[in-house]
A and B are shown apart, each in its own frame.
Chain A
Amino acid sequence: MNLLAAIISLFIPIAAVYLIVNYCDRDAPSEFATRAFHLSLAVAIALGITSWGYFVWLFAVGPPGVLHHFCEIVAFAILGAGAWLARRGTPRAPTLASTPIPLAWRNTLIRLFVATLVLASCGCVVGYFDLPHGDWDAWAIWNQRARFLFRSGEDWPLAFSSSFPRNDYPLFVPCLNARLWSYLGEDACWSPWLMAMLILGSISGLLISGLCRLRDKTVGLLAGCVLLGSVFFLRNSTMQYADVPLSLFILVAMLLLAFYDHAKGENRRLLILVGLAAGLAAWTKNEGVLFFVSLIVARFVVILRRRGVRAAIGECLEIAIGALPILTAVVLQKVFLAGENDLFVAQGEGVTWMRLVAPSRWLCVVSALLTQPLGAVHLFTIVLPLLFFAFGTHKGHLRETSTVFVMLPLIFCGWCLVCVTTPYEIRWQMTVTMRLFSQIWPTILLALFLALNSPERRAQESEASLRGMAREALDAARGSCCGADDGTIKN
């Protein structure tokens, strides 16, 4: 019975958000990639909102119980039904006629993608039996706080006791797990792993289907192959680290922004959703706050250059409005519950300045941040540039990727500042580099594959250029024939 309640607690919110997304994106062509995109987006947003809702209820009413479950399910059911009824009244988008496969080797690509997917999925399942409670950060921070929220009942503020280090960390993962346990009635060990796998599935689905829609299927599948072949990313996911959920919300924000730019800013509702995703990133980890600030700054700079100050302020305001409800919860947690941040509390004017001006610290931090990720994605550092040599870059991709390319250096600078001023031993601090990199890895793949010219387009371009050359040769041959007939001499 409790298992059924847990299934319903996942199914109803995801289905409701799917119907809402489906209604909002009703002009999209009805095809598999669109449905996969809507489903992956629905999983991300539903998990984020339910985690946030759990905290709001906990803070405002008390430990969530049957009343919370009832209100939550009814609210999602009403919203979903409303979206479904509204969708019924609108004309259906045309189904795209199945385009002939232009590349003879696309089937080979699909088979290789499926092989990668199967191997990665098996690894994740085996990973559960190997680390059922996740790895260090999972049981030391995230799942531990979830246990306190769930097990303490009325004493739930114990989860923020001063005896815990890092009790200022945001609560997406703890609230998500505690919520599912509250439906299950027990703190089942498999539930955090299931959430981690749903999040990994959502990331893969969003990256692949998003690129299928913005570019084509080949590009989407290639990006999916690279993501599912990234050992460090899969490992962080089975370890149940919060960096992977954070990477999901960063990806959602940047992907929706790419859709917004792709449509040349016609659908302004997307900006609200971008803000919601950015807010959820801040609700997941403190690095999410850095992402939110970097996103606002990057977007402001990009739009300022394109359309002036007024448009830049307008877009940033819409993103901030979307993030507002989630950021309110972040502020409530930081002000009323959380202790001081361990990285900030050990700062002082003199000591921070000494750390900032020490060249050895900068050297250590920058070299670790640059070299460790390259080591982790080892083979891909060779083959990804090869793809660009083979296919070239997509013309006009900067419209969709410029915000990412401005934002990533800002995030990198933020990481550098935090790592250089750390009160901890700097070499130990730099052991987290790979986790930081996994936060932006799906977004890096999104930007790279958006910038990549698609193989189909490349084949068409080659064919067109061959035709052009043949036509020129034919014209030249005709010309020389005619010239000979006319008796003129051509050099």
Chain B
Amino acid sequence: MLRLPSLSPRACVIAVCFCAIVGSARFLVGRCLLLVREMPVEQQFLAKYAPLRDILPKEQAAEFMVDSEHADLDRFDLNGRFFLIQYAASPRLFKGWADFSRKSATVAEQSEKDANSRIIVVDSDRPEVVPKIASSPKWRLLADLQNGVRVYSVEPSR
């Protein structure tokens, strides 16, 4: 019959505690290492979007567009930015998001056809670059947060 080697209870208990201490120390060191980096990306975006709460109208849901040509998407993808802007500007509502650069033609065409006015928030990580579509006469700049975030209203077509 197979006979298992007898294990010292004290050694087993100390082994469990040792693993626990290693685990909790790993957790602490991991958190400390994250803390010494620059401000977390989420917080940077939250600070960037927070003023929108006072700018956006209460009764109308805005649309969010990221200018991916001038956005550092490695830092945060479009989906993540949409949730962050919704969190930062709540209770102002956003309808959805789009890639401004890729869909600029579609957006411009649609804005010509749309019967209702729209509020569009454009985000570019390079504040000095003005989005091409903003040159359309139907787009009116409502606010420029000077950090790449601009709020436009798009007039309805008559």
Contacts and interface: CB of A to CB of B under 8 A. Distances in A.
B17 A116 contact: yes
Contacts of A331: none
A199 B27 CA distance: 18
Nearest to B96: A163
Given A139-B83, A383-B19, A455-B9, A148 B91 contact: yes
B35 A147 contact: no
Contact of A228 (B12, B24, B83): B24
A126 B40 contact: no
Contacts of B22: 229, 379
Nearest to B34: A130
A226 interface: yes
Interface centre among A132, A147, A238 (most CB of B within 10 A): A147
A69 to B, nearest CB: 21
Interface in B28-43: 28, 30-32, 34-35, 40, 42-43
A477 to B, nearest CB: 26
Contacts of A222: 13, 16-17
B8 A131 contact: no
Interface string A108-149: 110011011001101100110111110010011001100110
B132 to A, nearest CB: 27
A155 B91 contact: yes
A188 B23 CA distance: 31
B84 interface: yes
Interface of B: 4, 7-28, 30-32, 34-35, 40, 42-43, 46, 58, 61, 80, 83-84, 86-87, 90-91, 93-96
Given A147-B87, A155-B91, A113 B27 contact: no
23 contacts: A109-B17, A116-B17, A116-B20, A116-B24, A119-B28, A122-B28, A126-B28, A139-B84, A140-B83, A144-B83, A151-B90, A151-B91, A155-B91, A229-B21, A229-B23, A229-B24, A231-B23, A235-B30, A386-B12, A386-B16, A387-B12, A387-B13, A389-B4
A197 to B, nearest CB: 14
A118 B40 CA distance: 25
Given A119-B27, A147-B90, A161-B93, 6 more contacts: A105-B10, A132-B43, A143-B87, A155-B58, A218-B13, A389-B7
Interface in A232-265: 234-235, 238
Interface centre among A103, A123, A136, A218 (most CB of B within 10 A): A123
Contact of A163 (B14, B19, B84, B94): B94
A238 B31 contact: yes
A136 B77 CA distance: 12
Contacts of A347: none
Contacts of B13: 105, 109, 218, 222, 387, 455
Nearest to B95: A163
B96 A390 contact: no
Q: Which 8 A-B pairs have the closest CB atoms?
A: A229-B20, A229-B23, A112-B17, A119-B24, A225-B20, A140-B83, A123-B28, A126-B31
Interface in A89-118: 103, 105, 108-109, 112-113, 115-116
